[in-house]
Every structure is written in C-alpha cells, then in structure tokens.
Amino acid sequence: MYRSNSQLFEYICLKTALMVDSLVIIPTYNEIENIERIIHSVFSQDISFDILVVDDNSPDGTATKVKQLQEQYSDRLFIEERKGKQGLGTAYIHGFKWALRKSYQYIFEMDADFSHNPNDLPRLYQSCIENEGDIVIGSRYITGVNVVNWPMSRVLLSWGASKYVQMITGMDIHDTTAGFVCYKRAVLEKINLDKIRFVGYAFQIEMKFKTYLLGFNIKEIPVIFTDRTQGKSKMSGSIISEAIFGVLKMKIKSLFKRYEI
Ligand SMILES: Nc1nc2c(ncn2[C@@H]2O[C@H](COP(=O)(O)OP(=O)(O)OP(=O)(O)O)[C@@H](O)[C@H]2O)c(=O)[nH]1
Ligand SMILES: [Mg+2]
C-alpha cells in the first residue's frame, strides 16, 4: 500500500499532527516509582499517543502524581480513579468504555512497570494501521522466550500458561496471556464488555478468546519483556487459579450456544 517506509512514515506524521487517534491505557496500583517515568516515556515517542491511567486508589499516591503531571500534559493525560483495588481486568474494561466514548481508533494496553517497553508502541501501532491484525499482540514467545530478569520459575509459569491456554482454547497464538496489546476500536465495540467474567490476568485470555471467536485477525509481533525493577508485583495465587480453572470453564461454556461474546 505504501511505496516506501519513508512514505509510510510521512503518512503517520501527517496523521498524528492532525489528530491523536491512539490511547494507551495504563492500569495502576501502587506504581509511584514508575508512573512519572512511564508517562514521560510514552509522550516522548515520535507518534502521538494519549494516556489514560486507571488507578484503584493506590495508597502510595500514584493518582496524585498523575494529577500533578496533568498540568504539563493537560490535553493528553487523563486519569480515572476508582475506589479500591478491583483487579486489572475490570480496570481495563473501565478504560475501554472510556475510550469508546471518545473517538480513539487504536486502544493499547500497557503495564506501568516497564515490563512493556514504551519504545515498542510505534511498532504495535504501525502493524495495526497497516491492517496486519485487528488486534496486535506484543508477544514474548514467538522467537523462543524473550523475557529478561524473571526467575526460571516465573518464566516456566508464564510460558506454561500460554501453552496450556493455546491447547485448551485452540487459538493459534504463542503468547495467550500477553498484556501488551493494540486493539482496533471495532473489536472493542463488538465484544460485550459487560460480559467479561475474569478480573485478574485471565482477563487477557478471555479478551483474546472472544476476539478469536468473533473471527477478527490476531497478529503477534515480537517484543522483549523485562521484569519490573521498581515497585511490587501484584501477582497472587488466586489470580493464577482463576486462570487455570477459569480457562477450562470458559472453553466448555463456549461450546454451548448461550455463551455470550
Ligand atoms: N487499577 C489496577 N491496576 C492494577 C491492579 N493489579 C495490577 N495492576 C496494574 O497492572 C499492571 C500489571 O501488574 P503487575 O503487578 O506488574 O503484574 P505482573 O506484571 O504480572 O507482575 P510483576 O511480576 O510484578 O511484573 C501494573 O501496571 C499494575 O500496577 C488492580 O487491581 N487495579
Ligand atoms: Mg509487571
């Protein structure tokens, strides 16, 4: 479609100069050590992205920091504050609904802890606007295992979970639990966000499964995932068991007509 990369680059620059069509949603719970740097880093990309932080009343004052930064980035940085910790999945649903009330065409999921590199956002965006996929996943497992600084036990858990989900659901995706994703607006409009059942990381699997059942194109591009160096993990046993047993239940339900997408 584009004769050269420079032509494509010109098109992207022109388009982004005219309007910001992309929103990066960052859910946060106690990310005071990361939030300022990650926001600056997203806004320093060559392509313009708006940011929506969905904070669950973090006791460490993450939301206050975001509100201070809004003075600098008043028309590009937004925050939604919820009353308490309600899980990553529901934070994203909240963010998706917010995005759909506006005119964003490309809606991104990204963690606050630099496990997802903001420098990869333009590649995800480019892949999405070139119609390589209706959703584009920043994938850790296309070319081996691209994970830095995780203990072996955590690598095995994550890789094993991805393979398990692939086997149960039948989706042809290497990184089924990935949380670094660009969605085209049409996908989020089609999925009934009120019927998403999972609240933790299993939410990532459910979103991909519903995208897959609806027949949308799913594309993976390789990224390097780096363990957080600042702040604390929110991973827990209940999140893991939600994923293990929930996926099985989800697949069985999907075999019946009443399964709502
Ligand atoms: N709003 C909101 N954000 C959350 C919640 N749980 C996790 N997050 C955010 O979701 C992102 C991913 O959470 P992490 O704790 O990094 O989970 P993880 O990446 O599996 O675990 P790490 O091993 O620490 O990297 C981070 O930006 C968190 O702050 C929650 O209940 N509510
Ligand atoms: Mg993390």
3-state SS track over 151-163: CHHHHHHHHHHHH
Residues near 161 by beta carbon (within 8 Å), at least 6 away in sequence: 176, 177, 243, 244
Least confident residue range of 160-164, 238-242, 243-247: 238-242
CB of residue 21 inside a 6 A radius of ligand 1? no
The model's confidence at residue 16, banded by pLDDT at 50, 70 and 90, is low
Q: Helices in 60-177 by DSSP H: which ranges? A: 62-70, 88-101, 121-129, 152-169
Ligand 1 binding pocket mutation candidate from 234, 235, 239, 240 (most atoms within 8 A of CB): 234
The pTM for the full model equals 0.91
CB of residue 115 inside a 6 A radius of ligand 1? yes
pLDDT of residue 15: 58
pLDDT of residue 79: 98
Beta strands in 18-65 (DSSP E): 22-28, 50-55
pLDDT of residue 199: 87
- Measured distance CA(26)–CA(35) in Å, rounded: 9
- Measured distance CA(14)–CA(12) in Å, rounded: 6
The pLDDT tens digits for 2-11 are 667 777 777 6
Q: What percent of the chain has pLDDT over 70?
A: 96
CB of residue 109 inside a 6 A radius of ligand 1? no
pLDDT of residue 13: 61
Taking each helix axis as running N to C, give the angle between helix 202-213 and helix 88-101, from 0 to 180 degrees, rounded to the nearest 10: 50
State yes or no: pLDDT of 250 exceeds 70.
Answer: yes
Specify the DSSP class assigned to residue 71. T
Considering every ligand atom, which ligand is closest to the CA of 26? 1
The model's confidence at residue 18, banded by pLDDT at 50, 70 and 90, is low
Domains of the chain: 5-255 (3.90.550.10)
CA of 6 relative to ligand 2 center, distance in Å: 34
Task: Name which residue sits closest to atom 23 of ligand 1, judged by CA.
Answer: 233
**Which single residue is written with the structure tokens 């709502």?**
260
The model's confidence at residue 178, banded by pLDDT at 50, 70 and 90, is very high
The model's confidence at residue 90, banded by pLDDT at 50, 70 and 90, is very high
State yes or no: pLDDT of 75 exceeds 80.
Answer: yes
- Measured distance CA(142)–CA(18) in Å, rounded: 35
The pLDDT tens digits for 96-109 are 999 999 999 999 99
Task: Name which residue sits closest to atom 5 of ligand 1, judged by CA.
Answer: 88
CB of residue 74 inside a 6 A radius of ligand 1? no
CB of residue 90 inside a 6 A radius of ligand 1? no
| Mean of per-residue pLDDT scores for the chain | 93
pLDDT of residue 6: 76
CB 214 within 8 A of CB 135: no
Report the relative pairing of strands 147-148 and 225-226 from DSSP bridges. Answer: parallel
- Measured distance CA(249)–CA(187) in Å, rounded: 23
Q: H or E element: which one contains 13?
A: helix 5-18
pLDDT of residue 12: 65
C-alpha distances in angstroms, 16 versus 36, 73, 109? 23, 16, 19
Atom of ligand 1 nearest to the CA of 111: 27
CB of residue 88 inside a 6 A radius of ligand 1? yes
